[in-house]
Amino acid sequence: MKTYNVLVIDDEEKICKIIRIFLNLSPKIKNVVIAKDSIEGMLKLNNQEFDLIIVDKNMPNKSGLEFVENLRKSLKHQKTKILLISGCLTKEDTLIAMKLGIKEILVKPFNRQRLMEKLDGILVSSSIE
What would the pLDDT profile of 55-85 be if each residue is shown by its tens digit?
999 998 899 999 999 999 999 999 999 999 9
CATH code, 75: 3.40.50.2300
Q: Give the whole-angstrom CA distance, residue 83 versus residue 103.
A: 7
CB 6 within 8 A of CB 52: yes
Q: What pLDDT is attached to residue 60?
A: 87
* Residues contacting 44, CB < 8 A, separation 6+: 7, 33, 35, 50
pLDDT of residue 123: 85
Give pLDDT, residue 126. Answer: 56
pLDDT range class, residue 129, cuts 50, 70, 90: very low
- Which residue segment(s) compose the domain that 96 sits in? 4-128
122 and 6 in contact (C-beta within 8 Å)? no
What does pTM read for this prediction? Answer: 0.94
**Which tens digit of pLDDT belongs to each residue from 1-40?**
899 999 999 999 999 999 999 999 999 999 999 999 999 9
- How high is the pLDDT of residue 31? 97
Does the structure show a pLDDT above 80 at 94?
yes
Spatial distance between the Cα atoms of 99 and 84, rounded to a whole number of angstroms: 13
* Alpha carbons 72 and 53: distance in angstroms, whole number: 12
What's the domain count of the chain?
Answer: 1
Q: Would you state the pLDDT for residue 127?
A: 53
d(CA 88, CA 34): 22
Distance CA 80, CA 12 (A): 23
Q: What is the pLDDT of residue 128?
A: 41
Binning the chain into helix, strand and coil, the percentages to the nearest 5 are 45, 20, 30
DSSP 76: G
pLDDT of residue 83: 98
